[in-house]
Amino acid sequence: MGEVRKLQKKLRQIENLEIKISLTPEERFKISRKAELRSRLAELQLQLSGPQQTLGIVGDGKKEKMKRQVEDAPEALPSQTPPASKILKGEEQSKAQATPAPAARQRERGGGAEIGRRREGTEPANVSDQCRDADNEQHLRQEEAEFTSLKASWEKARFRLRLLEGHNDIVTCVVAVDNLVVSGSRDTTVKVWHVPTATEHKNLGGHTGGVTCLAAPPPEFCKRLAWSLSLSDKERFILSGSADCNVKIWALSIGQCVKSIYTFNAVTALCFVPEEDGYIITGSDGGKVQAWSWHTFENCQSINAHQEAVTSVQSQGPLVFSGSAEGGVSVWENRCSDRDPLRLLHHWSGQVTGCGGGPAGRLTLSPRGDRVFLAHGRAWLKILHWRTGAMSRLTNHSSITGVTDCAHQTGGLLIGSCYDVANGESSLNLFSLPQCRYLASLTWPDAPRILCFAAWTTGSGDHRWVTGGRDLIVWEQLPRSGKQRGDVTVRRDSRLESCSLESEGDSEDDEEETDDCEDDEDEGRAGRRDSAEEDGGSGSWLRCVLQ
């Protein structure tokens, strides 16, 4: 079993090496052994597999323990968390619904007298309570019927895939604007694609370092900038951040950079906050979060917010969420001020989130109301209830060798990418929101690892997605009628269905998984650490991804 874990560890390291640009001869030799290591791992898994479990998937018998816990536990009621647009108006209600475990413990501690009165049974049940129970039961039946219908529809879903060819390196970020897809790559370019024809529309060259992040301001904010530049009021703009320390603003129709902001730090994440005159929020490889005015393009605030590189920044109304390589998550409130607009509401360290992956880690986040979905390179999606710090996790892969690189929400769907480093299989897992119940998995032959994701819907309500990584691929949902054959295979993983949502009360598996990623036997680690110090302390996540 020890050799199995060592092989899994080496394969995970090789996958991280492959996304580097410059490789040493030693690193190239390690990558060349990937097929050999996968073959040896498959052989060991076959030898060690038994009627009770497959050790290559389960690992040390822990799957059986988790399976017993799931079977013994009562079925959890689906969360009733309201949509993000209503969360600030119903804060107290959402807090109670988003953290059922603490509420249950409080009832256990302080509700003894009430339980005693119920057990005595000296008074008849209140009619209103009976009506309320009946309404709840009816609501649950209706919710279950809706979920069953949704699950059945996704089991029949079909997608046609189209490859967008043009980038010379890994695609690190994508956004969708109308019928256009905009992608950024380590090859330093930003490309604009016309989706209906799957052709390159514009090649936006100007960055001197790898492009790490993109953002699309809403149309009303684009109109303000277009007016000030004497451009058409239909002009759309895109923001791009790069390792060259610049944020560039591009006009898509003319394909030109209309503004460049030098940030003095390698930009690793950014988002646009559509409040008041608008703000650009950037994250740097050194952990700094900065706010820039959309009106003047001047720096409004600089905060040393995280210990390592900021790998994700997202906005939700007046709130800004930032996540970092060491696993920390910060929640900020935008006070719409010319100076220091961001006020820290909460900060949760990597010890709380359980997402610490070391300085080379990568955390991406997707907020929804009081919850933030966290993808952190493990087999789970973590869920942080950011008002209380309560954590739960959503199973996103049936194998401990699975990694989750990104999470995205579209409509009533949560979509998590998963990649198995042991066999190279890649897929997208779909969950219903807000209950986070597993729907289906989508995959196709030779699917590459998915590092970024964007989604939108057509006028007829069908889904269109774009995924980036080694390949840039557009997913177009096919109509249910007709005899068209889709490129995507829809399947269901019973292991994901049986143990999808878990509390963070028992984190043994998570701790062991973290240990798996730390290769104390890797002879090159010390050399990389020394190199990091010589580089002046810049974030190693950025060097790993965009070096």
Using one digit for the tens of pLDDT, what is the confidence trace for 355-383? 875 445 789 999 999 999 999 888 899 99
Estimate to the nearest angstrom the gap between the alpha carbon of 439 and the chain centroid. 18
Minimum mean pLDDT range among 4-18, 279-293, 340-354: 4-18
d(CA 365, CA 375): 6
Name which of 409, 177, 219, 242 is nearest 314 in CA terms.
409
The packing angle between helices 34-48 and 2-17, to 10°, is 150
Averaged pLDDT, 276-290: 95
The answer to whether residue 286 sits within a structural domain is: yes
Contacts 24+ apart (CB under 8 A), 10-15: 10/37, 10/519, 11/37, 11/38, 11/41, 11/401, 11/421, 11/422, 12/401, 12/403, 12/421, 12/516, 12/517, 13/519, 13/522, 14/421, 15/403, 15/419, 15/421, 15/449
Cis peptide leading into residue 434 (ω within 30°): yes
C-alpha–C-alpha distance, residues 488 and 427, integer Å: 10
Tell me whether residue 517 is in a domain: no
Supply the pLDDT for residue 505.
58
Residue 84: Cβ within 10 Å count: 17
pLDDT digits (tens, 9 = 90+) for 382-420: 999 999 999 999 999 888 888 899 999 998 899 999 998
Phi, psi of 478 (to 5 degrees): -90, 150
Does 292 fall in a domain? yes
Specify if 9 maps to a domain: no
Strands (E) in 151-230, as ranges, are 159-163, 171-177, 180-185, 189-194, 199-205, 211-215
226 in any annotated domain? yes
Measured between alpha carbons, how far is residue 493 from residues 62, 119, 249, 399, 436 in Å?
18, 42, 43, 11, 15
Higher-confidence residue of 79 and 282: namely 282
Quote the number of domains for the chain.
Answer: 1
Torsion (CA) 479, 415, 269, 178 in degrees, nearest 10: 20
> Do the domain assignments include residue 491?
yes
pLDDT at 346 over 80: yes
Expressed in percent and rounded to 5, the helix, strand and coil fractions of the chain are 30, 35, 40
Say how many C-beta atoms besides its own lie within 10 A of residue 481's C-beta.
6
The string of pLDDT tens digits covering residues 305-328 is 999 999 999 999 999 999 999 999
CA–CA gap between residue 465 and residue 476 (Å, rounded): 7
Q: Does residue 150 surpass a pLDDT of 80?
A: yes
Residue 137 lies in a domain: no
Is 354 a residue whose pLDDT tops 80? yes
Judge whether residue 239 has pLDDT over 70.
yes
| Predicted structure pTM score | 0.75
Q: Is residue 55 a part of any domain in this protein?
A: no
Six-digit token string for 212: 């790490």
Over the chain, what is the mean pLDDT?
Answer: 78
Please report, for the domain that includes residue 463, its CATH number.
2.130.10.10
pLDDT at residue 265, as a whole number: 94
| Structural domain that includes position 436 | 155-501
